[in-house]
Amino acid sequence: MKSNQYNRREVRFAWLLIIPAFIFIGIIIFYPMVMAFYTSLHQVDLTRKAQGTPFIGFKNYIDILKSSGFWASINRTVYFTVVSIAIEMVIGFLIALLLNQKFWARGILRSLLLIPWALPITVDAIMWKWIFNANYGAFNAFLCLLSYDKPSSMMF
Protein backbone atom coordinates (compact mmCIF):
# COMPACT_ATOMS: atom_id res chain seq x y z
CA MET A 1 0.00 0.00 0.00
CA LYS A 2 2.81 2.43 0.83
CA SER A 3 4.47 1.75 -2.50
CA ASN A 4 1.36 2.90 -4.36
CA GLN A 5 1.14 6.03 -2.21
CA TYR A 6 4.83 6.75 -2.79
CA ASN A 7 4.31 6.52 -6.56
CA ARG A 8 1.40 8.96 -6.41
CA ARG A 9 3.55 11.48 -4.56
CA GLU A 10 6.28 11.10 -7.15
CA VAL A 11 3.78 11.58 -9.96
CA ARG A 12 2.35 14.70 -8.30
CA PHE A 13 5.84 16.08 -7.73
CA ALA A 14 6.77 15.35 -11.36
CA TRP A 15 3.68 17.21 -12.57
CA LEU A 16 4.54 20.09 -10.26
CA LEU A 17 7.94 20.33 -11.91
CA ILE A 18 6.60 19.99 -15.45
CA ILE A 19 3.75 22.52 -15.22
CA PRO A 20 6.03 25.63 -15.35
CA ALA A 21 7.62 24.27 -18.53
CA PHE A 22 4.18 23.71 -20.07
CA ILE A 23 3.16 27.24 -19.14
CA PHE A 24 6.37 28.65 -20.63
CA ILE A 25 5.87 26.68 -23.85
CA GLY A 26 2.28 27.83 -23.98
CA ILE A 27 3.26 31.46 -23.65
CA ILE A 28 6.24 31.38 -26.01
CA ILE A 29 4.96 29.03 -28.71
CA PHE A 30 1.23 28.39 -28.62
CA TYR A 31 -0.04 31.89 -27.78
CA PRO A 32 1.63 33.47 -30.85
CA MET A 33 0.35 30.63 -33.03
CA VAL A 34 -3.22 31.11 -31.81
CA MET A 35 -2.96 34.88 -32.23
CA ALA A 36 -1.57 34.50 -35.77
CA PHE A 37 -4.47 32.23 -36.69
CA TYR A 38 -6.94 34.65 -35.09
CA THR A 39 -5.41 37.53 -37.04
CA SER A 40 -5.58 35.53 -40.27
CA LEU A 41 -9.35 35.33 -39.88
CA HIS A 42 -9.64 39.13 -39.87
CA GLN A 43 -9.01 41.83 -42.42
CA VAL A 44 -5.90 43.67 -41.27
CA ASP A 45 -4.35 46.64 -43.04
CA LEU A 46 -0.82 47.10 -41.75
CA THR A 47 -0.31 50.36 -43.65
CA ARG A 48 -2.99 52.24 -41.74
CA LYS A 49 -3.73 52.85 -38.12
CA ALA A 50 -5.86 50.10 -36.62
CA GLN A 51 -9.51 51.14 -36.77
CA GLY A 52 -10.94 47.72 -36.14
CA THR A 53 -10.38 44.50 -37.93
CA PRO A 54 -13.54 43.03 -39.44
CA PHE A 55 -13.96 39.26 -39.30
CA ILE A 56 -13.70 37.73 -42.77
CA GLY A 57 -13.37 34.04 -41.91
CA PHE A 58 -11.33 31.91 -44.27
CA LYS A 59 -11.36 34.50 -47.10
CA ASN A 60 -7.60 35.13 -46.70
CA TYR A 61 -6.94 31.40 -47.07
CA ILE A 62 -9.22 31.08 -50.07
CA ASP A 63 -7.58 34.09 -51.74
CA ILE A 64 -4.09 32.67 -51.24
CA LEU A 65 -5.11 29.23 -52.52
CA LYS A 66 -6.53 30.89 -55.66
CA SER A 67 -3.35 32.89 -56.23
CA SER A 68 -1.14 31.66 -59.07
CA GLY A 69 1.90 33.25 -57.41
CA PHE A 70 1.37 31.13 -54.30
CA TRP A 71 1.25 27.89 -56.29
CA ALA A 72 4.27 28.95 -58.37
CA SER A 73 6.26 29.55 -55.19
CA ILE A 74 5.13 26.20 -53.77
CA ASN A 75 6.25 24.48 -56.99
CA ARG A 76 9.64 26.22 -56.91
CA THR A 77 10.11 25.34 -53.23
CA VAL A 78 9.24 21.67 -53.76
CA TYR A 79 11.46 21.49 -56.85
CA PHE A 80 14.39 23.13 -55.05
CA THR A 81 13.95 20.88 -52.02
CA VAL A 82 13.74 17.64 -53.99
CA VAL A 83 16.61 18.50 -56.33
CA SER A 84 18.92 19.84 -53.61
CA ILE A 85 18.29 16.85 -51.33
CA ALA A 86 18.84 14.41 -54.21
CA ILE A 87 22.10 16.10 -55.21
CA GLU A 88 23.32 16.31 -51.60
CA MET A 89 22.50 12.64 -51.00
CA VAL A 90 24.31 11.48 -54.15
CA ILE A 91 27.38 13.63 -53.48
CA GLY A 92 27.46 12.65 -49.81
CA PHE A 93 27.13 8.95 -50.69
CA LEU A 94 29.92 9.18 -53.26
CA ILE A 95 32.21 11.00 -50.81
CA ALA A 96 31.47 8.39 -48.13
CA LEU A 97 32.31 5.60 -50.58
CA LEU A 98 35.51 7.39 -51.57
CA LEU A 99 36.61 7.94 -47.97
CA ASN A 100 35.92 4.29 -47.17
CA GLN A 101 38.49 3.16 -49.75
CA LYS A 102 42.14 2.77 -48.75
CA PHE A 103 44.46 5.22 -50.51
CA TRP A 104 47.49 7.29 -49.55
CA ALA A 105 45.73 10.65 -48.79
CA ARG A 106 42.61 9.30 -47.10
CA GLY A 107 43.48 10.78 -43.67
CA ILE A 108 44.26 14.21 -45.14
CA LEU A 109 41.04 14.20 -47.16
CA ARG A 110 38.99 13.18 -44.11
CA SER A 111 40.57 16.03 -42.13
CA LEU A 112 39.83 18.54 -44.88
CA LEU A 113 36.19 17.46 -44.98
CA LEU A 114 35.85 17.99 -41.21
CA ILE A 115 37.07 21.61 -41.35
CA PRO A 116 33.74 23.10 -42.56
CA TRP A 117 32.01 21.26 -39.72
CA ALA A 118 34.44 22.33 -36.96
CA LEU A 119 35.34 25.83 -38.12
CA PRO A 120 32.09 27.68 -37.26
CA ILE A 121 32.23 26.42 -33.66
CA THR A 122 35.82 27.61 -33.32
CA VAL A 123 35.02 31.00 -34.84
CA ASP A 124 32.05 31.43 -32.48
CA ALA A 125 34.19 30.62 -29.46
CA ILE A 126 36.85 33.13 -30.48
CA MET A 127 34.21 35.78 -31.21
CA TRP A 128 32.56 35.41 -27.78
CA LYS A 129 35.98 35.43 -26.11
CA TRP A 130 36.74 38.73 -27.89
CA ILE A 131 33.35 40.26 -27.04
CA PHE A 132 33.68 39.56 -23.32
CA ASN A 133 37.39 40.32 -22.98
CA ALA A 134 37.87 42.56 -19.92
CA ASN A 135 40.58 44.72 -21.52
CA TYR A 136 39.42 45.38 -25.07
CA GLY A 137 36.12 43.55 -25.59
CA ALA A 138 33.10 45.09 -27.24
CA PHE A 139 30.89 44.45 -24.20
CA ASN A 140 33.44 46.10 -21.91
CA ALA A 141 33.61 49.10 -24.25
CA PHE A 142 29.81 49.35 -24.11
CA LEU A 143 29.88 49.28 -20.31
CA CYS A 144 32.59 51.95 -20.31
CA LEU A 145 30.34 54.14 -22.44
CA LEU A 146 27.67 53.75 -19.80
CA SER A 147 30.26 54.54 -17.10
CA TYR A 148 29.83 51.26 -15.32
CA ASP A 149 33.55 50.58 -15.31
CA LYS A 150 34.16 52.46 -12.06
CA PRO A 151 33.57 50.59 -8.79
CA SER A 152 31.83 53.60 -7.23
CA SER A 153 29.16 53.71 -9.94
CA MET A 154 28.41 50.01 -9.96
CA MET A 155 24.86 49.08 -9.14
CA PHE A 156 25.73 45.94 -7.17
Angstrom distance (rounded) from CA 60 to CA 64: 6
pLDDT tens for 30-46 read 999 999 999 899 988 87
Residue 153, pLDDT score: 46
Count of Cβ atoms closer than 10 Å to residue 16 Cβ: 9
pLDDT of residue 2: 58
pLDDT digits (tens, 9 = 90+) for 134-155: 888 888 888 888 875 555 444 4
pTM above 0.75, yes or no: no
Half-sphere exposure (Cβ direction) of 116: Cα atoms closer than 13 Å: 3
pLDDT tens for residues 34-88?
999 998 999 888 787 767 788 999 999 999 999 999 999 999 999 999 999 999 9
Query: Are the C-beta atoms of 115 and 109 separated by less than 8 Å?
Result: no
